[in-house]
Amino acid sequence: MEAQRESWGSKTGFILAAAGSAIGLGNIWKFPYIAGENGGASFVIVYLICIAVIGFPVLIAEILIGRSTQRNPVGAFFKLSGSKFWAGVGGMGIVGGFLILSFYAIIAGWSIGYIVEAIDGNFFNFVEETASAQHFLNLVGNVYWILGYFIFFMMLTTVIVFAGVKKGIERGSKIMMPILFFLLIILMIRGITLNGAEKGLEFLWNPDWSKINANTILIALGHAFFTLSLGMGAMLTYGSYMSKKDNIISSAFQIVFLDTIIALIAGIAIFTAVFATGLNPQAGPGLIFHTLPSVFIKMPGGYFFSILFFILLTLAALTSSISLLEVVVSYFVDERKWKRHHAAIVLAFFITLLGVPSALSYNVLSDFTIAGKNFFDLVDFIASNILLPLGGLLISVFVAWKWGFKKVLPNLREGAENLFEKYPWVISFWKIFLKYFSPILIFLVFLNSIGILDKIIELFF
Ligand code: TRP
């Protein structure tokens, strides 16, 4: 007899865990800087549209595949299609989890390292932005610093996944998510009450449409995927622990809502502070680690708020990293019959090993490049720009075209009978978006990511 499969304790537990997966470095580290680089408000509007018309429908599709099959990504696709090809699409997700976690945990490690810097009051030694940027480079240039915090963060992730779905992931999310909301709201209030905060708010609310072009739309769409943890079966796996009594559509809506609101609040907290201290909003990936430390030291209570900020960032990263490890673990537990404890430790170990060259690409391996990219950027590129969009594309095609709405809709209806009766148009929209919009738009993102789109456009126009 098969062992009883794990499940969530409650619908709220699932929503918090899934929102925890979605809310991560993507919201607090990445979203503010790409919004800053791409025109502020106008980018935010494009991003919101992408979330609504592509992110939300694909999220429903992923959760549905998981809940209908109660399997990991490989098992789920195989169960529904009986085909090796589609099982391979699930396999791409497992590989994606492996790759993404190997570099995600490195950045999360920086965040832990920065909690320590903040507590030490070290930011006060670097008044100029250039000095704090240099300090960052010195830290990541130190092999022991970068590997130490990376390994430590991987251990935290492992402990939670080791403890299981209900006792580890759900309980961890139920503790960490409220703390995260609370800290972020304090930071937002601090930001808004700074002298000169209006300029930051203006930047977020006043659109600059001249900055919007095909490329920014694709960046927004790509980010909509990343921030909702779509395209590699993370939401599928979390959905597989969900009860058939729960409403997938309303759950997905709440996840999207939480993820979006957190990204916006993070944007407000960061840009009010950056503008009030007269620093550059377009610092790119360095915004958090280069610019923010010099923002904190210039504002009242900065010592305290800098500590809170990096605790917040670490918690957000942790509730995401556990979802990445869980995808890989669920495959080995379901399909290879490994014990969860064994799987969590062994797989985390191999993911850490894979992360070592990425960590070293900030120091000893910095000259080592493949196709013009260092190891870290290469892994990031393969995962975020190839595997995720391709996965998202295939997931929409699978649900809309292969599995087929005739079989899909009765499954989706379970737990959502009310919604089906009262708002049938929601379902109609979902079908249209998933069948036509998502595949086409994601395909464009994909071509753009691998750098083919420019050439095609040149060819025709
Ligand atoms: N969504 C997370 C963030 O915004 C990152 C993440 C977690 C993720 N799991 C994922 C991204 C799966 C893509 C796929 O930081």
CATH number of domain containing 311: 1.10.4160
For residue 443, being part of any structural domain is answered with yes
Percent of the chain residues topping a pLDDT of 70: 99
- pLDDT higher at 205 or 336: 336
For residue 263, being part of any structural domain is answered with yes
Percent of the chain residues topping a pLDDT of 90: 76
pLDDT tens-digit series, residues 428-457: 999 999 999 999 998 988 888 777 777 777
Write down the pLDDT at residue 218.
Answer: 84
Q: How far is the CA of 229 from the centre of ligand 1 (A)?
A: 4
Q: What is the pTM of this model?
A: 0.94
Burial tier of 12 (Cβ tally within 10 Å: 0-12, 13-18, 19+): middle
Q: Which atom number of ligand 1 is nearest to the Cα of residue 232?
A: 14
Record the tokens describing residue 169, joined without a space: 């992931």
Q: How far is the CA of 236 from the centre of ligand 1 (A)?
A: 13
26 lines ligand 1 (CB under 6 A): yes
- Half-sphere exposure in the Cβ direction for 323 (13 Å, CA): 33
Residue 270 has pLDDT above 60, yes or no: yes
For residue 2, being part of any structural domain is answered with no
Write down the pLDDT at residue 3.
Answer: 60
Q: Which atom number of ligand 1 is nearest to the Cα of residue 317?
A: 15
* Main-chain dihedrals φ then ψ at residue 373, nearest 5 degrees: -120, 145
pLDDT tens-digit series, residues 172-195: 999 999 999 999 999 999 999 999
Q: Which atom number of ligand 1 is nearest to the Cα of residue 323?
A: 9
Q: How far is the CA of 442 from the centre of ligand 1 (A)?
A: 17
For residue 111, being part of any structural domain is answered with yes
Write down the pLDDT at residue 294.
Answer: 85
- Half-sphere exposure in the Cβ direction for 45 (13 Å, CA): 12
Q: How far is the CA of 228 from the centre of ligand 1 (A)?
A: 6
Q: How far is the CA of 9 from the centre of ligand 1 (A)?
A: 23
For residue 170, being part of any structural domain is answered with yes
Q: How many domains does one find in the chain?
A: 1
Q: Which atom number of ligand 1 is nearest to the Cα of residue 225?
A: 13
Supply the residue whose CA is at minimum distance from atom 8 of ligand 1.
229
Residue 10 has pLDDT above 90, yes or no: yes
Burial tier of 2 (Cβ tally within 10 Å: 0-12, 13-18, 19+): exposed
> In testing the pocket of ligand 1, which one of 229, 230, 237, 258 has its CB within 8 Å of the most ligand atoms?
229
Write down the pLDDT at residue 2.
Answer: 52
229 lines ligand 1 (CB under 6 A): yes
**Distance between CA atoms of residues 303 and 366, nearest Å:** 33
Q: How far is the CA of 315 from the centre of ligand 1 (A)?
A: 14
pLDDT tens-digit series, residues 342-374: 999 999 999 999 999 999 999 999 899 888 889
Report CA torsion sign: 16, 182, 140, 290: positive
Give CB contacts under 8 A, 24+ apart, made by 138-147: 139/110, 139/113, 140/110, 140/362, 140/363, 141/362, 141/363, 142/363, 143/359, 143/360, 143/363, 143/364, 145/113, 146/106, 146/109, 146/110, 146/359, 146/360, 146/362, 146/363, 147/356, 147/359
* Main-chain dihedrals φ then ψ at residue 228, nearest 5 degrees: -90, 10
Residue 137 has pLDDT above 80, yes or no: yes
Supply the residue whose CA is at minimum distance from atom 12 of ligand 1.
229
For residue 6, being part of any structural domain is answered with no
157 lines ligand 1 (CB under 6 A): no
25 lines ligand 1 (CB under 6 A): yes
Write down the pLDDT at residue 215.
Answer: 81
Q: Which pLDDT band holds residue 33 (cuts at 50, 70, 90)?
A: confident
- Domain hosting residue 218, numbered range: 11-460
- pLDDT higher at 461 or 194: 194
Q: Which atom number of ligand 1 is nearest to the Cα of residue 96?
A: 14
Q: How far is the CA of 264 from the centre of ligand 1 (A)?
A: 17
Write down the pLDDT at residue 1.
Answer: 41
For residue 456, being part of any structural domain is answered with yes
Q: Which pLDDT band holds residue 69 (cuts at 50, 70, 90)?
A: very high
**Distance between CA atoms of residues 338 and 342, nearest Å:** 7
- Mean pLDDT of the region 284-299: 84
**Distance between CA atoms of residues 236 and 147, nearest Å:** 31
pLDDT tens-digit series, residues 89-123: 999 999 999 999 999 999 999 999 999 999 999 99
Least confident of 15-29, 136-150, 307-321, 381-395: 381-395
396 lines ligand 1 (CB under 6 A): no
Write down the pLDDT at residue 65.
Answer: 98
> In testing the pocket of ligand 1, which one of 29, 63, 100 has its CB within 8 Å of the most ligand atoms?
100
Q: How far is the CA of 80 from the centre of ligand 1 (A)?
A: 25
Q: How far is the CA of 97 from the centre of ligand 1 (A)?
A: 9
Record the tokens describing residue 191, joined without a space: 């930001």
Contact of 267 with 204, CB cutoff 8 Å: yes
Residue 219 has pLDDT above 90, yes or no: no
List alpha helices for 336-402, DSSP H: 340-360, 375-380, 388-397
Supply the residue whose CA is at minimum distance from atom 11 of ligand 1.
229
38 lines ligand 1 (CB under 6 A): no
Q: How far is the CA of 317 from the centre of ligand 1 (A)?
A: 9
Write down the pLDDT at residue 427.
Answer: 96
For residue 222, being part of any structural domain is answered with yes
> In this structure, which amino acid lies at residue 318?
L
> In testing the pocket of ligand 1, which one of 34, 226, 319 has its CB within 8 Å of the most ligand atoms?
226
93 lines ligand 1 (CB under 6 A): no
Residue 216 has pLDDT above 60, yes or no: yes
Supply the residue whose CA is at minimum distance from atom 6 of ligand 1.
229
